[in-house]
């Protein structure tokens, strides 16, 4: 019996501001909660035209979205619960464990601050985010990334953050209090990413625009790194320790390569995979140690199989999700247990229905989905120069036949309009829906300010009906 990987787009949301970070809540009973962070440059209002006027800098504005996912809502399972205006968001991550009984979201922004928000249950089975504390990490800089120390070890709770001045900040978390424990210059240019070794949180990794990957041991001080790698040929912008398999580390770079490392021997990576797009984020699967999700800027999202990385030169790409029309930045796996049966209007697998009846059901599902997403418009705006450095493509370069035509100022239909047709094709192909495996994911893209929620499935293929 063969296996085929497929995806199904469940919903597409216009985030209005450019979207660059998404995270599903990892805490039990809140796995259906999703957050999305945005980053938008705003020109200040003109106050006059006199020669003495001083040109004000552009404002970096952001918005935090809180969503709840309900699988029973067929065509719009994602419901917006809350939106909060704030400085532009560069990264956000949930703590892996509750703090003082609450799920806690960490946010770093364009004002160089780290902020924590509690997720508080409220009436009607909903919830809201409430800001509980914040700390200014560094003056006149952008805080670019953060990571929690709680991937494996739950105490003590720490956060590592990186910024546009090339510095790292180690912060201790005590209930509603943040204390900056240590700060140091780590890279010559922007420090795009910082991350903990989840198995030994005294060890920190960082990557910068100087093309260097560095390893720091807090027990030995911060005067010099424990190790420096120049294997990446361009800026290192994504790092994550594998929470399931000790010593395994994934990194990604503008050089379009995902590297898998053994932290005990960092001279050479275990595997090197060219994904044909700058790797802004990498995320290990929440329960399967070999699956890695990569957000690849100009080349969509890829799911890599890192099983046996030590015995091969590159990791196989199991699936590529290329339905975004802009830079692929934010990506995350959900821990939510989702029904493996189609959640969009399916073509029923039943011999009692005639071919004409099946086609009628599929046509109706397609029509309803098309009406639902007809409002979505694609707009391209120029954000901060910090990101312009990697943007050169024309609008049409992002378009694909699958995702529909892309016209300036016009409507771009969601890939979801083809879901019902896909179900009909799967029916004819003989997919055994009772034995497939499904994962729920969220991804977001920058210039078109769009959030996708989709399901990836590995389907067992049976003989055609």
Q: Which of 32-36, 389-393, 425-429, 435-439 has the lowest mean pLDDT?
A: 389-393
What is the separation of C-alpha 349 from the centre of its chain, rounded to a whole number of angstroms? 34
**Shortest CA distance to 203 belongs to which of 165, 246, 164, 143?**
246
- Helical pair 355-373 and 419-429, crossing angle rounded to 10 deg: 150
Q: What confidence category does residue 340 fall into, taking pLDDT thresholds of 50, 70 and 90?
A: low
**For residue range 2-60, what is the model confidence (pLDDT) as tens digits?**
668 899 999 999 999 999 999 999 999 999 999 999 999 887 664 444 444 445 567 89
DSSP per-residue codes, 85-130: EEEPEEEEEE-SS-BTTB-EEEEEETTSEEEEEEEEEETTTEEEEE
**Cα–Cα distances in angstroms (integers) from residue 49 to residues 41, 58, 285, 366, in the given order:** 22, 17, 54, 53
Q: pTM of the predicted model, to two decimals?
A: 0.80
Q: What is the mean pLDDT of residues 171-192?
A: 95
Question: Would you call the peptide bond into 133 cis, given omega within 30 degrees of 0 as the criterion?
Answer: no
Are the C-beta atoms of residues 453 and 424 closer than 8 Å to each other?
Answer: no
**Shortest CA distance to 315 belongs to which of 348, 284, 272?**
272
**Residue 416 pLDDT more than 90?**
no
Are the C-beta atoms of residues 243 and 265 closer than 8 Å to each other?
Answer: no
- Residue 185 parent element (H or E): strand 177-185
**Residue 334 pLDDT more than 60?**
yes
SS3 annotation, 236-268: EEEEEECCCCCCEEEEEECCCEEEEEECCECCC
- Domain spans in the chain, listed from the N-terminal domain onward: 13-43+58-333, 355-461
**Does domain 13-43+58-333 correspond to CATH entry 3.30.110.30?**
no
Spatial distance between the Cα atoms of 127 and 130, rounded to a whole number of angstroms: 10
> Starting at the edge strand that comes first in sequence, how are the strands of the sheet with 271-274 ordered?
236-241, 248-253, 257-262, 271-274
Spatial distance between the Cα atoms of 308 and 270, rounded to a whole number of angstroms: 9
């Amino acid at each position: 019996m063969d296996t085929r990987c497929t995806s199904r787009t469940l919903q597409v949301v216009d985030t209005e501001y450019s979207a660059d970070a998404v995270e599903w809540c990892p805490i039990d009973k809140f796995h259906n909660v999703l957050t999305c962070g945005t980053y938008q440059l705003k020109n200040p209002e003109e106050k006059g035209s006199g020669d003495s006027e001083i040109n004000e800098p552009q404002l970096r504005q952001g918005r935090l979205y809180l969503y709840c996912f309900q699988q029973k809502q067929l065509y719009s399972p994602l419901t917006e619960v809350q939106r909060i205006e704030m400085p532009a968001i560069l990264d956000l991550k949930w703590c892996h464990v509750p703090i003082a009984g609450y799920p806690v979201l960490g946010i770093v922004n364009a004002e160089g601050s780290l902020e924590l928000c509690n997720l508080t249950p409220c009436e009607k089975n909903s919830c809201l985010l409430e800001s509980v504390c914040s700390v200014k990490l560094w003056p006149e800089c952008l805080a670019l990334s953060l990571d929690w120390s709680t991937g494996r070890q739950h105490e003590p709770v720490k956060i590592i953050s990186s910024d546009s001045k090339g510095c790292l900040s180690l912060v201790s978390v005590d209930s509603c209090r943040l204390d900056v424990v240590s700060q140091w210059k780590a890279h010559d240019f922007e420090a795009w990413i910082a991350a903990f070794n989840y198995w030994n949180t005294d060890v920190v990794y960082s990557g910068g625009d100087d093309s260097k990957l560095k390893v720091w041991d807090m027990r030995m001080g911060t005067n010099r790194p424990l190790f420096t790698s120049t294997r990446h040929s361009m800026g290192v912008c994504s790092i994550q320790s594998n929470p399931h398999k000790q010593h395994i580390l994934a990194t990604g770079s503008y050089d379009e390569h995902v590297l898998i490392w053994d932290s005990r021997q960092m001279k050479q990576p275990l595997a090197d995979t060219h994904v044909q797009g700058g790797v802004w984020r990498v995320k290990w699967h929440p329960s399967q140690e070999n699956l890695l999700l990569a957000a690849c800027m100009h080349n969509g999202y890829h799911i890599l199989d890192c099983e046996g990385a030590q015995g091969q030169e590159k990791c196989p790409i199991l699936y590529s999700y290329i339905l975004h029309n802009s830079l692929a930045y934010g990506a995350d796996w959900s821990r939510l247990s989702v029904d493996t049966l189609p959640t969009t209007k399916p073509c029923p697998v039943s011999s009692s229905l005639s071919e004409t009846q099946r086609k009628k059901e599929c046509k109706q599902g397609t029509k309803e989905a098309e009406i639902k997403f007809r409002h979505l418009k694609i707009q391209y705006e120029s954000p901060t120069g910090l990101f312009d450095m990697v943007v050169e493509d024309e609008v049409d370069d992002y378009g694909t036949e699958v995702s529909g035509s892309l016209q300036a100022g016009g409507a771009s239909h969601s890939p979801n309009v083809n879901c019902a047709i896909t179900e009909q094709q799967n029916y004819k192909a003989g997919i055994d829906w009772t034995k497939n495996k499904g994962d729920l994911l969220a991804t977001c893209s920058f210039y078109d300010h769009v959030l996708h929620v989709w399901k990836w499935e590995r389907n067992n293929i049976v003989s055609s009906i």
